[in-house]
Amino acid sequence: MAKIKLTKNEQKKQKDSLKMYQRYLPTLMLKKQQLQAEIRLTEIRVKELLDEKTRIDDSFKSWIAVYGETGFFKADLVKISSLRTAQGNIAGVVIPIFQGAEFTVAPYDLVTNPLWLDLAVERMQQVLLLDLEAQIVEEQRKRLSQELRITTQRVNLFEKIKIPETKSNIKKIQVYLGDQQTAAVVRGKIAKRGLARAAQASQGGSK
């Protein structure tokens, strides 16, 4: 703890600081609660997206062996050509917002290839969209979590250190100034009595 000056100016400074900490602490605590709620929403959303992706993958498993045997299905059949995102803001945190994606499908012969290949392309795009959105939402969670960490540190700083420290400083200054005032009154009374005795002694000597 830094050494403080035991003066009225310092007392005012400490009181002003205390008011500031007490004014901003509720705002920080509210922001902390909002961030916690938003992080929970992103976690739920990521789980929903991955569960849906798993559901589609599971429904597709019965076809995987067919793709492997026939050689019609290729890993590079569908590629992501562009990702569309926007910028959002939650509790002062800039986050990416998923808006969609564009895909490039490798050309294939509609006559010689089986009909299920069209459905395979469609399902692959669905899975990729879910995966891309999950990645964006996960990035949201990371950014919100980072801001939550900083906000929590500030709440703890104000709540556990700055406010108690400032209150202690104010009390220390008040006690010191009170002692100084009491001492000044005592000195004044002593001086007054001394002057009175000196006056009496002077009057007694002149008789």
Q: What is the 3-state secondary structure (H, E, C) of 3-55?
A: CCCCCHHHHHHHHHHHHHHHHHHHHHHHHHHHHHHHHHHHHHHHHHHHHHHHH
Q: Within 10 Å of residue 184's Cβ, how many Cβ atoms? A: 10
Query: Does the pLDDT of residue 143 top 50, yes or no?
Result: yes
Domain-located, residue 177: no
Count how many domains the chain has. Answer: 1
Output the pLDDT for position 101: 95
Count of beta carbons in the 10 Å neighbourhood of residue 202: 9
In a domain, 179, yes or no: no
* pLDDT of 183 higher than 50: yes
Residue 152's nearest CA partner among 6, 48, 36, 5 is 36
> CA 172 to CA 6: how far, in whole Å?
8
Q: Residue 69: which pLDDT band, with cuts at 50, 70 and 90?
A: very low
Task: Report yes or no on 141 lying in a domain.
Answer: yes
Q: What is the pLDDT of residue 112?
A: 57
Whether this prediction's pTM lies above 0.95 is answered by no
- Mean pLDDT, rounded, for 19-26: 95
Closest by Cα among 56, 177, 203, 69 to 120: 56
Indicate whether 57 belongs to any domain: yes
- Identify the domain containing residue 53 by its residue range: 22-165
